Chain A
Amino acid sequence: MSGGPTRRELALLAAAGAATALARGAHGARTPPLGAAVDPDDLPAREASWYRRLAEGRVECQLCPRGCQVADAERGACGVRENRRGTYVTLVHGVACTLHADPIEKKPFFHVMPGSTALSWAAAGCNVECKFCQNWEISQFRPEQVPARWLPPAELAAAARRANAPLLAATYSEPVVFWEYVRDTALAARRIGLRTVVVSNGYIQEAPLKEVLPLLAAVKVDLKAFREPFYRDFVRGELKPVLRSLETIRASGTWLEIVVLLLPTLNDSEEEVRDLALWVKTNLGADVPVHFTRFHPTYRLTNLPPTPLSSLERAWRVAQAEGLRYVYLGNVPGHPGENTVCPDCGATLIHRVGFTVRAAALEDGRCPSCRRAIPGVWS
C-alpha cells in the first residue's frame, strides 16, 4: 500500500492553496477543503462524461473499450466509476493519490522539453490488470482504499506553476480512468500557460481520446506487447484498440512516444520486436520514439528475472534495423541507448544518464552539426 504524502508532496499540496470552501457536489458527496485528505467514506462524486443510460437503471461506460455495463450500486472494472441510480459518476475527479515533481525523462519523454520538471499526479484505479504492474499499490485499488488529497484541476495547475514546473503529467496509475480530471486539468493548465502530458496504456475509446487530445502536449503510450494473447493473459485487455489509439494520437498531431516494457521470454522475441517496429514505421512513421525498458519482478509476476541487457540491446538493434530513427533503452542508466543521436550525421544530441540530462546540443530543434530537424516538443 502507498504510504502518506512525502514532505515534498505536503509542501506541494500546501502550495496548492489553503482555501477551505466546502461545496456539495451534484451527487451528494461533499468536497473537502483544498489539499485535505479525502474521506474514503465520502468520496466526491461527479457525473462521468462518457456513458449512456440503458434500460432498468443500468449504464454503459463509453470511456474505455471494455464498455462495462453496470447495474445500480455497482462499479465498472476500473473500480472508480459507479452507477448511482442510473447516473454514472466518477469518484476520482480532483482526488489525487500521488503528486511528485519529476524530470520529464522519468515518464519517459525524450523528445519533450528535455530536463524540464513535470508535476506528476495520479488518481487511484486502472482499466486493465497487468500482472507486472510497477504501481499496483495505486492502480489496482479502488479510490477509497488509497490515501488521497482533494486537489481539483485549477489548484493542481496552480501548484505546478508554484513548483516552477512547465509541465503537468498524468501518470503512475492509468489516466484513462480519471480522464475528466485530465481534461479539466489540461484546460486549467493551458489558461496559465502550462502544458499537460499523459502517460497511458492507450486503452480508450476513440471519442474521449479525440476530445482531449487537442488539450495535450504529448502522450506516451505503454505498448505492452505486439501479440493479442499477451494482452489477454497478462494485461486483461486487448491490443487492437491500443493500436487504433496510437494511430489516432499520431494523426492528431499531438506528440507521441511509445514505451515497450520487455519481459524475458514473454514479449521480447526478435520476431515480435521486428513486427512491432515494422508496424510503427508503417502506421505511425519512423520519427515516433520507441523506448524498450527493462522489467523488474513485481506484483503477480515475480517468477521472472529482470530483463537481460542482451535482450534489450537486441530489441534496440532490431528496431533500428527496421528503420525507426529514435530507439531508446530504459532502466539501464549510463547505456548509450539513453542518448538522442542524429539519424543523419550520428552526432549525440542529448546525453542522458538515467533521468538526468548531462548535455543537450540541440539548436532550435536541429542538429548543430548537420542542421537536420529533430522532431519533438522542444520549447
Chain B
Amino acid sequence: MTRKFTRRELGALVGTGIALGPRALHGAAPAVGAGGTVGVAPLAAPAGGGALDPTAARAALERALVAATGKPTAARAVSALFSPSDTVGIKLNCLGGPISPRRELVEALAALLREAGIPGQRIVVFERASRELARVRYPIRKNGGDYLCHGVDNDYDAEPSTSGQIGSCFARLVSTTCTALVGFGVVKDHDLAGVSASLKNWYGVIHNPNKYHDNHCDPFVADVVNHPFVRGKLRLTVLDGVNAQCHGGPGYRPDAVWPLGLVVASTDPVAADAWAWRAIDAERVRRGMPTLEAAGRAPRFVATAARYGLGVGDPAAIREARG
C-alpha cells in the first residue's frame, strides 16, 4: 500500500477543497475562515506533567480560534459559528488514555460556548462510552454542571443509514439531539488509518467502526463525515496538540510522544487532518523514521474527503495561521 497519489487524487486534494472549502460543511451556518486555514497557538505542557493552567489553556484556545477564523476575538469567532439556539456536541477522542484532549481545553471551549449564549444543558461533551471519558477523569453527568458529559453508551439509531460504502447506525446524539458539532481530537499516529486527529474521530459516532478499517480506512472515514448527520452539522475542529504521538497509535505509546506544544483549530476538518499529517511526518523524519507514505500508511481518506468537498486535503496547500 505504498503507491503514489494519482494526478486525479492530487487534483482532488487541492482543487475541490479550495473550491468548496468549509462552506459546504456549514449548511445554514455562516461560513467562517478560509478553507485550508489551520489556526495554531502555542501552549506548553506543564513541567512534570499534571493539569494545564486553565487561564493559559483558555488563552491559547482563543488565539487558535482567532487565527483559524480571522475574527477579531474568540467570542466573535464562536458567535459566528454557533447560534444560541444550537445544541452543541463536542466529540472527544479518549482512546489513547494519556494522549486525550485535556479537560482544561475542553472546558475553555464549553465556557466560550456558554458566553455565546448556549446554556450548559445544551453543550454535550461526549465519547463512545462514558467509561472512556471517566478513565481520563471527565465528570460523567447527564444533567447539571457547566456542560453535560457522557458517552453514546449504545444510544444509536434503530436503523442503519448509508453513506458511500458505510452502513451504520449513528449515535442519536449526532443524528437527533445536536444541531451543531465540534470535533475535539488529538494529533496522533494510527496504525491502520495513518492519522487519527480530525476526521477519524468521527468513527466514534457509528455503531460498527470495526467493519471499516480495510484499505487504511479509505474511503470509510470520509464516508462517515460525509453523511449529512455529520457534514451538515460540523462547524469546528479543535486538536489538543500540547503533546502528540508520531508512532504506535491509536493506543498510547509514551516513547512516541513528543511535546508539540500547540492548540490547533480549524473550520476545515480536512485541513486539520492534513496539518496533523504534516506535523506527524515532520517528527518522524526528525527521529529518522519513514514518513507515513513511506511506511505504507498514508491517510488516503484525506484525499477522498477533499474530493467529497469536505475541505482542503493537500498538506502543501494548508495555510498555517499563527495565533
Contacts and interface: CB of A to CB of B under 8 A. Distances in A.
Interface of A: 1, 40-41, 56-58, 68, 71-79, 83, 129, 131, 136, 140-142, 144-145, 236, 299-300
B154 interface: yes
Contact of B251 (A72, A76, A131, A141): A72
Interface string B247-258: 011111100000
B160 A71 contact: no
B92 to A, nearest CB: 15
Contacts of B248: 56-57, 71-72
B211 A236 contact: yes
Contacts of B167: 129, 131, 299-300
B320 interface: no
Given A1-B154, A58-B191, A78-B210, 16 more contacts: A1-B158, A57-B248, A68-B213, A71-B248, A71-B249, A71-B250, A72-B251, A73-B95, A73-B250, A77-B213, A79-B210, A131-B167, A140-B208, A141-B207, A141-B208, A144-B129
B319 interface: no
B251 A74 contact: yes
Contacts of B208: 79, 129, 140-142
A340 to B, nearest CB: 38
B210 A41 contact: no
B192 interface: yes
Nearest to B256: A56
B96 interface: yes
B58 to A, nearest CB: 30
18 contacts: A57-B248, A58-B191, A71-B191, A72-B253, A73-B95, A73-B96, A73-B250, A73-B251, A74-B191, A76-B210, A77-B210, A78-B210, A140-B211, A141-B208, A142-B207, A144-B154, A300-B160, A300-B167
A318 to B, nearest CB: 32
A300 B211 CA distance: 14
8 shortest interchain CB distances as A-B pairs: A73-B251, A71-B191, A72-B251, A79-B210, A300-B167, A41-B131, A145-B154, A75-B210
Nearest to A71: B191
A142 B169 CA distance: 12
Instruction: Please indicate which of the listed interface residues B95, B156, B167, B250 has the most CB atoms of chain A within 10 Å of its own CB.
Output: B167
A330 to B, nearest CB: 25
B162 interface: yes
**Contact residues of B: prevailing secondary structure:** loop
Given A58-B191, A140-B211, A142-B210, A74 B160 contact: no
Interface residues of B, number: 26
Interface string B133-164: 00000000000000000000010101010100
Contacts of B192: 71, 74
Contacts of A74: 191-192, 213, 250-251
B199 to A, nearest CB: 17
Given A56-B248, A299-B160, A40 B154 contact: yes
Interface in B179-200: 190-192
Contacts of B162: 300
Contacts of A141: 207-208
Contact of B129 (A1, A41, A236): A41
B250 A145 contact: no
A305 B210 CA distance: 30
Of the listed residues A75, A142, A145, the one surrounded by the most CB atoms of chain B closer than 10 A to its CB is: A145
Contacts of B156: 1, 145
Among B154, B190, B192, B252, the most chain A Cβ lie within 10 Å of the Cβ of B154
A71 B207 contact: no
Interface string B202-222: 000001101101100000000
B96 A129 contact: no
Contact of A77 (B131, B154, B211, B251): B211
A56 B289 CA distance: 14
A181 B37 CA distance: 52
Given A58-B191, A299-B160, A71 B211 contact: no
